[in-house]
C-alpha cells in the first residue's frame, strides 16, 4: 500500500496526494457526472439521508484587528457593527440550551479576535465545560491559537476548533494582509497536535478562479489528516466591506465545489455554511446531493442571516432527510478508527 493512501473500507480510499490537474479535472466533469460521483462517494462513508445540525453563536462581536475583506466584524471597515466584549458565561449557556432544545447536536461559538489572550482562556474553559455538560458537542472559532492555548481548550473539553483557510495560498493575499496563509496552517497544526478535531474550509465567490478553489481543497485534502468538518461558505456580500460589489458566484459553480470537497475528503463532514439563506430549496437540495451533510441551523451565522428552523425542517421533510444526532455516530467513529490505524 502506498504510504500516502489509506483505505477506510472496501470502497473508500483516503488520499493525501491530490494534484492540481486531477482536481481541476473533477471540476470540469459534466455536472450530472460530478454529482453522481460525489453522491456515490458520500454513500460509501455516511448513512443515507442524514444531515448534522449545528448552531452558531457570536460570543464576542466586532472590533477584530484582521482585515479579511469579506468580514463585517473587521475594525478596518464601516459596516455598522459595534465591538462588544465577551458575552457572560450564563448568557452563552442559555443560548446553548435553546439550541439543544431546537434540535442542534453541536454548539459552535465564535469570537471576533485576531487571537485570544491568555487571560481569556479560563472563561472560555468554563463555557466549554458548561456546554459539554448539556450533552452537546462543542466548537469554537477564536482566531489564531498558540500550542499552549490549544491544549488548554482541549483539556477543558473542546471537541472541534474552526479555523478556515478561506482560499488558495496564491489568492490569499488578495483577501487578507494582516496575517499570512502560513499563520492559518500553523494554527491548524497546533489544534491537531492538541488532540482536538479540526473544522476547516473556505469561501467561494470572492473573485477567485476555479483553480484557486481546487488548490484550497487540495491544501485541506493533503493535510496529514483530513479535517473532520469542512465548511464551504458562499460569500455573503456585506455593505461596507471591500467585497460588497463582487460578482455573484454562479450557484452551479458553488455546488461543484461542494461535490469536489466530498470526493477528495470522503469521510469528512461537508458543511453547507454561510450564504445558505439566499439559496433556493432546489439549490440546497443539489448541495445535499453533492455530498453536503452538515448545516448551521436556527441562529444567525455570526452576523449574517441563517434560515429559520421551521423552513429547514420543512425542506428536510420534502427531501426525506433526517437530522443526525452528532458527527460522532458509531458509523463515522468506526471509519475514523480504521483511517487512523492505517495512517
Q: Indicate which residues carry an active-site annotation.
A: 64, 68, 71, 108, 139, 199, 271
Alpha carbon distance 70, 241 (integer Å): 6
Q: Is 165 exposed, middle or buried (0-12, 13-18, 19+ CB in 10 A)?
A: buried
Alpha carbon distance 150, 75 (integer Å): 25
With a CB cutoff of 8 Å and minimum separation 6, the contacts of 287 are 254, 255, 258, 272, 279
Q: Which SS3 state, helix, strand or coil, does residue 239 take?
A: coil
Distance of CA 49 to the CA centre of its chain: 20
Listed residue (303, 304, 221) closest to 270, CA to CA? 221
Alpha carbon distance 11, 9 (integer Å): 5
Task: Calculate helix-pair angle for 251-264, 210-221, nearest 10 degrees.
Answer: 20
> What is the Rg, in whole angstroms, of the alpha carbon atoms belonging to the chain?
19
Amino acid at each position: 500500500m502506498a504510504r500516502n493512501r489509506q483505505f477506510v473500507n472496501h470502497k473508500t480510499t483516503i488520499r493525501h496526494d491530490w494534484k492540481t490537474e486531477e482536481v481541476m479535472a473533477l471540476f470540469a466533469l459534466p455536472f450530472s457526472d460530478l454529482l453522481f460521483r460525489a453522491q456515490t462517494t458520500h454513500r460509501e462513508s455516511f448513512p443515507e439521508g442524514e444531515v448534522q445540525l449545528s448552531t452558531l453563536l457570536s460570543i464576542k462581536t466586532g472590533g477584530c484587528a484582521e482585515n479579511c475583506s469579506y468580514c463585517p466584524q473587521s475594525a478596518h471597515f464601516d459596516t455598522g457593527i459595534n465591538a462588544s466584549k465577551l458575552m457572560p458565561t450564563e448568557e452563552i449557556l442559555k443560548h446553548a440550551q435553546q439550541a439543544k432544545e431546537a434540535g442542534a447536536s453541536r454548539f459552535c461559538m465564535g469570537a471576533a479576535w485576531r487571537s485570544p489572550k491568555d487571560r481569556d482562556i479560563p472563561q472560555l474553559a468554563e463555557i466549554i465545560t458548561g456546554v459539554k455538560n448539556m450533552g452537546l458537542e462543542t466548537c469554537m472559532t477564536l482566531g489564531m491559537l498558540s500550542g499552549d492555548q490549544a491544549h488548554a481548550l482541549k483539556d477543558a473539553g473542546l471537541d472541534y476548533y474552526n479555523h478556515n483557510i478561506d482560499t488558495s495560498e496564491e489568492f490569499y493575499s488578495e483577501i487578507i494582509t494582516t496575517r499570512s496563509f502560513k499563520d492559518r496552517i500553523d494554527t491548524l497544526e497546533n489544534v491537531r497536535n492538541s488532540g482536538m478535531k479540526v473544522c476547516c474550509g473556505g469561501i467561494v465567490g470572492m473573485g477567485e478562479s476555479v483553480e484557486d478553489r481546487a488548490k484550497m481543497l487540495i491544501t485541506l485534502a493533503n493535510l496529514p489528516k483530513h479535517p473532520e468538518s469542512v465548511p464551504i461558505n458562499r460569500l455573503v456580500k456585506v455593505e461596507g466591506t471591500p467585497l460588497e460589489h463582487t460578482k455573484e458566484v454562479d450557484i452551479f459553480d458553488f455546488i461543484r465545489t461542494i461535490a469536489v470537497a466530498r470526493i477528495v475528503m470522503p469521510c469528512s463532514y461537508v458543511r453547507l455554511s454561510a450564504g445558505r439563506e439566499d439559496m433556493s430549496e432546489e439549490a440546497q437540495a443539489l448541495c445535499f446531493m453533492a455530498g453536503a451533510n452538515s448545516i448551521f441551523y436556527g441562529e444567525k451565522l455570526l452576523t449574517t442571516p441563517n434560515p429559520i428552523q421551521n423552513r429547514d425542517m420543512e425542506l428536510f421533510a420534502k427531501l426525506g432527510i433526517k437530522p443526525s444526532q452528532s458527527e460522532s455516530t458509531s458509523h463515522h467513529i468506526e471509519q475514523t478508527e480504521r483511517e487512523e490505524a492505517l495512517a
